[in-house]
Chain A
């Protein structure tokens, strides 16, 4: 089966850097995803990692280590609008849908 763990809450200040960790256990790995979800809104796609290493997209970067079952999302130059839940997800065994963690709620203060 699949299991995903990520911290429930994190806080940070504007301009800082924050790293949100995710560990996963899955039978048959087909990629790891990060989604952002603002309160009351739909999740939006941030990143997809299928190979080990760091993928950078502007202020956001995502890292994957398949051997360790570990990923992190790195947010730089934090802005107030980055306050949201960040959801880590992997494909289900059939590769047909995403299995999500419970999400990490990030609060950015000034």
Chain B
């Protein structure tokens, strides 16, 4: 596709359930980023992938959060045992490579609501 896509666009889940959020970056982009945006807050960095490796996962808030990337393409962010404070919009972005990380292209986000 032409841009970064994410699915689902909206997810409502019960507290304690696991969720998987998917990101398809722009074809050929080797760098991929996950961010979280809580209501009324700025974007918080979660994790950065270069290829299939994650050299920086310093933003993951707890061990309930994990992410993987395969084929230097699709990435999945998994949240286990969801809590209400996990409710946020989860945004994925990609850039051509690390050197081009100044220009990140964002997907539309997944709005996660934990009830």
Which residues does A use to contact B, with CB under 8 Å? Answer: 4, 31, 33, 41-45, 48, 50, 87, 89, 91-92, 94-103
Q: What CA separation (Å) do A31 and B106 show in the bound complex? A: 19
Contact in complex: B56, A94 (CB < 8 Å): yes
Chain A residues, CB < 8 A from B98: 95-96
The answer to whether A97 and B45 touch across the interface, beta carbons within 8 angstroms, is yes
Q: How far is the CA of A43 from the CA of B105 in the complex (A)?
A: 8
Q: Are A45 and B104 in contact (CB under 8 A)?
A: yes
Q: How far is the CB of B105 from chain A (nearest CB, A)?
A: 7
Q: Which of A4, A42, A98, A103 contacts B108 (CB 8 A)?
A: A42
The residues of B with any CB-CB pair to A shorter than 8 Å are 4, 33, 35, 40-45, 48, 55-56, 58-59, 91, 98, 101-109
- A48 contacts B45, C-beta separation under 8 Å: no
Assess the A96–B43 pair: CB atoms within 8 A. Answer: no
6 A-B pairs whose Cβ atoms sit less than 8 Å apart in the complex: A4-B42, A41-B108, A92-B56, A98-B33, A98-B35, A102-B41
Judging by beta carbons under 8 Å apart, are A96 and B105 in contact?
no
Q: Is the CB of B101 within 8 A of A96?
A: yes
A39 to B13, CA, bound (A): 23
Residues in B with CB closer than 8 Å to A43 are 43, 91, 106
When distances are taken between beta carbons in the complex, the residues of chain A under 8 Å from B35 are 97-98, 100
